[in-house]
Chain A
Amino acid sequence: MNSPDHAAQVVGVHAGDSAPATAAGTTSFQGTGMAATAQGYNFAYLDEQTKRMIRRAILKAVAIPGYQVPFGSREMPLPYGWGTGGIQVTAAIIGPNDVLKVIDQGSDDTTNAVNIRRFFAATTGVATTERTTQASIIQTRHRIPETPLAEGQVLVYQVPIPEPLRWLEPSETETRRMHALEEYGLMHVKLYEDIAHYGHIATTYDYPVRVNGRYLMRPSPIPKFDNPKMDMNPALQLFGAGREKRIYAVPPYTRVESLDFEDHPFEIQTWDECCEFCGSKGSFLDEIVIDDAGGRMFVCSDSDYCSQRRAGQANGGDAVAAQQSQQSQQSPNVTGVPGVPGVSDRPPAQPAETASS
């Protein structure tokens, strides 16, 4: 499982991570990924029996899209807030030939992403990458990559709270019954309350969806901007909640609809600005404060997407740029109003530029 070829590939694809003691991490695995997997641990840390148990849960989840399958969540050498559900799912599906990408808020470089990537590099020896197109498994928190995913790729989400009905119904027995009987009116009560109090649906993250016309699902705290990407996606989408011990899935090419009202249709965030670095008008932008005088700029939250675009521009508009422009035709065309993450959107400046579920 850990040939020298592999080790070479790790270095080649993602040399940065293998340098020891570069970042403060919470795991003991940092810096061990270069030449061999960590001694004394099974491949991907979990024992084979646990992995089989998790795979059975995943298979059931794939068979019933959007349904939350309980599983025997294990203690992981990372705190719960770090995405132990997603890590266990990844550990159960990863093989020696996989290429792993880990993102947090769209970035490969946050402490969380770096540590999870290191953890798997150390315990599996697999190649890691920052390139969305080169990854076979992408573990994510808070974003779906801007670059469209392809058949054969797996997107693993880290889920803090899996139950969409939890906000108003604290009883697990009752929420299970509501799922079984498709009693989902309560979810619209929440959207109703948004409109009554704010004049529009103010939910901007973890926006509830209906999967395959059946199960109500929490997409994890991704921005609603990413919701349309879940719909009919060619990749397999797996969701893992460690603390709550639930796994659920959206198989490739499955319908995913964002809930809304006829007279208040689902809309994604839009921005007046474009990315300061790559000029993108079709990606999710983060606002960054750049000086004490209140100066700000907007940049792509997806760092790989941004750097690929810049590389393409440096080459004078090559295939990458062509691919991007094609992509922004498919995805909802986004320009317009600022949507600072965490702050509800203002009304869209251009009515056509919204996506209805």
Chain B
Amino acid sequence: MSESNKKPFSVREIREEFPALRQQIYGKNLIYFDNGATSQKPQMVLDAINKFYSKENANIHRGVHFMSQKATTEYEESRKRIQKYINARKSEEIIFTKGTTDGINLVAYSYGELLQAGDEIIISAMEHHSNIVPWQMLCIRKGLGLRIAPINKKGELLMEEFEKMLSKKTKLVAITHISNTLGTVNPIKEVIEKAHAVGAKVLIDGAQSIQHTRVDVKDLNCDFYVFSSHKVFGPTGIGVLYGKEDILDRMPPYQGGGDMISRVTFERTTYNELPFKFEAGTPHIAGGICLGKAFEFLESIDMSAAEKHERDLAKYAEDILDTFEGLHIIGEAKNKTSVVSFTVDGLHPFDIGTLLDKQGIAVRTGHHCTQPLMDFYKIPGTVRASFAFYNTRQEIDTFVAALEKSISMLK
């Protein structure tokens, strides 16, 4: 899709689409800097949720009646819209899941069934617990080896070390596109090429990427790509697993139930085709349809301008924070998105987060579900401000003043 025929990027106009941003908390204008945890929702997604439940609610894939067919069509249209957006070859390659975690567990279970004792899986040192624990569980279940590709202090993947780990034993590399704690953008295209050279498949954890940058799964040539709707302006409880058709075809079903079957007898059950083979039971219908709306919203945005705006915000914030005595930015990768994680000498992130909250500013504090990464930096946690394209420099100015006040109260 060409960016040039879109409306020029305007933060002011975009903000108007997000009612949640127009609130006051504790009598202060809300500043929402916790986009890494979840994003706010544009009006068109909110309207779609309301419309679905007030007018269109019906079960899908099984009704002869008008509403069921309409809901089925919308649900499948949404799948196609997502397919086009990420440039998958077929809509059968788009599996609806509950979210990133669910998608990774699906692959860990189902692709894992194809692996054998002695095979190896590689993840990186900056993974979210969701991209660690399912692999640990699989490794215990099947007797596989789990290897951790190291990073440097800036929070960048050590490519050479990663390459050394690759061997004929490597069957899967599971790595995040963008680190939720550090903001590091990993060189996933290179990772994918290198992994493919030894015959390994690659799963990309995209939880932090589609909302910030264009993703083209065909161009990346990844085998799996997973993300959560709620971080890309859609509802909670739904997400997507993209997988290459030939691999998904070879994988056994993950859960059994309605919708995923072709024919059931007590002697033998045959399974439905993709994508339904992996979608047992009544799915989150409203979620699927409204995630489609979120993508319709994303399509209206000039993403390269949005990405530039977000990176400018992060740079602007970091340049100011750098002048604070005793403040350390955690995550200084050369290629970085709009995440600013930091610690302040002698102060606990929880205290800073609590005082920012009381000044109307939502940030996240703690280990961000990346405890091994905190161990690597030998810190209990960080304060993390994560920006979306609807955030502004004025908000950062307010945040900086509130942070200064918090630090002086705590010192």
Say whether A associates with B.
Answer: no
Give chain B's interface residues, CB within 8 Å of chain A. Answer: none
